[in-house]
Amino acid sequence: MSKNKIDLKTILKNLRKNFYKLPLFILVVALFLILLFPYQDLTGWVTDQVNKSLKGQAHLNVEKLKITPIPPFYASLTNTSIETPKSPAFLIKHIKVAPIWSKLLSLKLGAQIKLDDFYKGTVTARGFQLAKEGNAKTPPIELKINGDSIDLKVLSSTLESPVPLNGQLGFDLSGIIDTLFKKPPELKINSDSPRLSIPPFSLPPTMMYGLALPSFDFKRFKLRADLKDENFKVKELFLGNPGDPLIVKLKGTMVLKLKRVGSTVKIIPGRYDMDFDLFASSKLLEDASFSLAFSGLKKYETQTLNGMRYLFSVSGDSLTSKRPPRMSSLAEF
């Protein structure tokens, strides 16, 4: 017992004696990490490990990785490219990752990320662990993501969207996600953008019988939707402003399953029921291309003071189904 007391006293004595050396030690370590640490080797190692985990489903390349070991403590990645077998590589000029200290102090993982020049826009994300539920292997993650000035032309091209888009997108997404997707995610999506244009295109055969559409230019795009229990509910989708020659309103539901396949997430659309409320001005319908596009909706039209209103619903087994959708008239929207 006395020996233990002597050892403890000796330790405390040495700590007091050499305490002045502690700041010098911290300074030396910080200078090493800032000036001498082989970040290029670390960049290659991190990239190799990520690509191994992706198993060929995607390929990551990082030009430069830097870690700042002094407050506010963050990691930055320069010129990060991501490529998949089904889509060309896209480049993110700068990524900054920092911990959420309030969560770390409560022994929960949390991080905030900022992506600059992500599809020519900016995305900020914040996520942290919640408490485990029941026998779950991993805790769910609470996410908050904000996007600003995303280039829709580049995005729709990369995602091979059936509807080509032009304009800039801003959005807010929040919710809770099980990273293993054993439990369906719960998400809320809000978007309000000043402009959205669509060049001439034809819908797929499974969407409104492959209707050929001319170009559209909307002065506003607004979306409110949520995903819960594999049910994607569009509460409000609004294209155009009052007084515009074309206004589109949409609401409805779609079965939407998210399934984890390896390191990627597969989106599986299912049954859908959508209600449409379209307004086309008389002047717009004088254009032959617009008149032809709306001719297939003639039985759903109602004459208004300034043009035509079209009320109808569209339902189907899936957007990828070979069966044509079912269309019917609506009494009100």
Confidence of residue 207 (pLDDT cuts 50, 70, 90): low
Q: 274-286 pLDDT, tens per residue?
A: 999 999 999 888 8
Q: 299-323 pLDDT, tens per residue?
A: 999 999 889 999 999 998 887 777 8
What is the average pLDDT score of the chain?
A: 78
| Mean pLDDT, range 100-128, rounded to an integer | 84
SS3 content of the chain, % helix, strand, coil (to 5): 25, 50, 25
Q: What angle do CA 181, 184, 187 make, to 5 degrees?
A: 110
Burial status of residue 230 (CB atoms within 10 A of its CB: 0-12, 13-18, 19 or more): middle
Confidence of residue 3 (pLDDT cuts 50, 70, 90): very low
Confidence of residue 14 (pLDDT cuts 50, 70, 90): low
Q: Is 113's pLDDT higher than 80? A: yes
